Amino acid sequence: MFALGGRIVWRGKFELTLIGPTDECWDHCFIAEYPSVAAFVEMIRDPAYREAVKHRQAAVEDSRLIRLEPGEAGAAFG
């Protein structure tokens, strides 16, 4: 992640779901930013990453990986 310019831009501890499935609880949440889609793809194709991710997947019950496109912040929602 860091070798290709990725970085954690936000991290936090789950407290409460306000809107969404009430049966989902998360231990850790974070937002990572990569310099480009190509850098992210390079990371997930790297053999060392692919080996390490096996251990992460075995250690967690559930996870989400969601790709987002940056948008402009504004005064209104939506």
Which helix (H) or strand (E) segment holds residue 57: the answer is helix 47-59
Tell me: the pLDDT tens digits for 21-31?
Answer: 888 888 888 99
Tell me: the pLDDT tens digits for 31-76?
Answer: 999 999 999 999 889 999 899 888 888 888 888 888 888 888 887 7
Bridge partners of 8, per DSSP, are 32
Is residue 6 scored above 80 in pLDDT? yes
> pTM of this prediction?
0.69
Token reading at 51: 């080996």
In contact, 14 and 29? CB cutoff 8 Å: yes
**Residue 57, φ and ψ in degrees, nearest 5:** -65, -35
In contact, 39 and 62? CB cutoff 8 Å: no
The Cα 54–Cα 52 span in angstroms is 5
Q: What is the pLDDT of residue 1?
A: 59
Is residue 78 scored above 70 in pLDDT? no
